[in-house]
Amino acid sequence: MSGVAKKRSEIPHQYQWDVESIFATPEAWETAVAQLQEQLKEIASFKGRLSEGPAVLADYFAAADEMMTAVGKVFVYASLSYSVDTNDQAAAARNDRARGMFGMAMAANAFAQPEMLAIGFDTLRKWLTQDERLADYGHYLDRLEQQQAHVRSAEVEQVLGLVRDSFSTAAATHGVLANADLKFEPAVGSDGQTYDITQGTIGGLTTHADRDVRRTAWTHYADAHLAFKNTMANALAAGVKQDVFNMRVRGYKNSLEAALSSNFIPTEVFHNLINTYKANLPTWHRYWNIRRRALGYDKLYPYDVKAPLSLDPPNVPYETAVDWIATGMLPLGQDYAATLRSGALEERWVDVYPNQGKRMGAFSSGVKGTHPFIMMSYTDDLFGLSTLAHELGHSMHSYLTWQTQQNMNYSRYGLFVAEVASNFNQAMVRAHLLEANSSPEFQIAVIEEAMANFHRYFFIMPTLARFELEIHERVERGQALNADTLNNLLADLFSEGFGDEVEVDRERVGITWAQFHTHLYSNFYVYQYATGISAAHSLAQGILAGTVDANDYLNFLKAGGSVFPLDALKIAGIDMTSPEPVETTFGVLAGYVDRLEALVGQRG
């Protein structure tokens, strides 16, 4: 690993994503923004007219689809450009304007659902048979009917649309502070070599073989966030208050119900996850103990939870990773694997390597009318491979949905199912790697990557979900949030998860919430990582065992938003209203722990 992060201009072109496929230049983006302004006026011309009949409603849907496609492209182009260089002020300005345009689009469209509710569902369903352009809107009406108690008047909906931009300021402020303004002291190795800490390099540094590198990277990264803990706490408190405001305006009982019900998920799914997680904490405690002994340490610290266990971890260049991932996904068919390979290697879906100013983490983006885009900071190891597999799962989900669903409303799938596709790819690729290479050290390397991923999705995310539930309930009760209360709450929750096996630095562990710069601003998003990994491993086990048909899984991906999320998973045979998938996946986790203990025990 190089100690100095590269400038954006130093990243080879083939490893930068193809944003020019959306707009060739910033000037072309400006032209699209001007055109979008006209489309907003066209949408406004339908206000008060939807009751005129099926033809007008069909015309409205066509215009709304065109507008949302346009605003999606404007938003994606701006956000992608800003994400890879948060120091680029022109890109920052475009990103800010794009957020404003998105809010304006929501406001312009706010009259539609109240007008449809006034028409009545019996009439609307008759209209579906009277104009062929409306034939595919049955599920749209089903969703609207389920949500009708929480749809407000046109005037209130317009206001809620208009405040979307200003309500995103808390998250944006946190993000700007973390991605552009935080300054990190470099990590220092046992040999005195220094390593730049950026949002793109921190993941690699905390998996470094040198314990001093891991320790100083972890502490300096946490300390930079602690230096601004009050500002970040104020931003998060504002974000939670906005969630509570929206919950009350829309007439939900609480923020959890508001977040889950609006995505057609019963709250029992959340509580099943949390209860099953707490019941299985001893599995994590056992893993920490095995890890400590494998590393030969007297004490295990948080910066050791991803320390390399393999004595000979494989070097995995980007192109090799793509090949291994495509091969691992062959049970889904040649077409799936070939599309994935072409997107990652030829069509430049992926912005591959870290650079100065690149925001933290990884994500898949895009809208119908673009190809998928993946931002990551690839490292030449199994961790980089796994992150790539995860994001390619998202991207292939989007690709297949966009290819199948012509209705713009169904081209967007919910967050609940999104994390299934990503974790499924990781599970399938790990199974392939473990089958393909019997070397004990390679097997240990694969399992330690798997455990690092489980640590994030099946340990950190359920912990953050418990944290999120508590801070929302506190605000609902009128209690204040500040940095110290947030830090102490999260330190308590992590201490429960670590048990007696990990030495907890309460202040630095407690600030973990501040290191999730977007997740905690997406109301009750994080629990879906854990439900997603649960459904994913249940599906992967079924496909590998031959009890789940790969075509059923592909049909789940292709369904997009054309069915309710739980029904989409039932296409592939998974029932997430039951705790069984979570329990099954804890069984997978326990199996990895057993296998790891046996492998490290063979070393003598």
Instruction: Return d(Cα 377, Cα 354) in angstroms, integer.
Output: 4
Element (H, E) at 391: helix 382-404
Cβ distance 459 to 284 under 8 Å?
yes
What strands, in cross-sheet order, belong to the sheet with 373-375? 350-351, 373-375, 363-365
Specify which residues 370 forms β-bridges with: 368
Instruction: Return d(Cα 72, Cα 368) in angstroms, integer.
Output: 8
Cβ distance 204 to 379 under 8 Å?
yes
For 208, residues 6+ apart whose C-beta sits below 8 A from its C-beta are 1, 187, 189, 195, 214, 217, 308
Specify which residues 375 forms β-bridges with: 351, 363
Element (H, E) at 367: none
Token duo for residue 361: 């983490």
Phi, then psi, of 183 in degrees rounded to 5: -115, 125
Cβ distance 360 to 207 under 8 Å?
no
Residues serving a catalytic function are 391
Instruction: Look at the block and give the residue holding tokens 């990103």.
Output: 95
User: Is residue 402 left, alpha or beta, with left meaning phi > 0 and alpha meaning psi from -120 to 50?
Assistant: alpha
Instruction: Look at the block and give the residue holding tokens 């429960």.
Output: 496
Count Cα neighbours of 138 within 13 Å in the Cβ-side half-sphere.
Answer: 7
Q: How many CB atoms lie within 10 A of CB 253?
A: 11
Instruction: Return d(Cα 483, Cα 304) in angstroms, integer.
Output: 26
Token duo for residue 501: 């096996």
Instruction: Look at the block and give the residue holding tokens 């967007």.
Output: 412
Report how far apart the first and last C-alpha atoms of the chain are (Å, whole number): 31
Angle at CA of residue 520, ends 232 and 578, nearest 5°? 160
Cβ distance 498 to 301 under 8 Å?
no
CA 253 to chain centre: 26
Biggest alpha carbon–alpha carbon distance for the chain: 80
Token duo for residue 262: 């609006």
Token duo for residue 457: 């999705």
CA-based Rg of the chain, rounded to a whole angstrom? 24
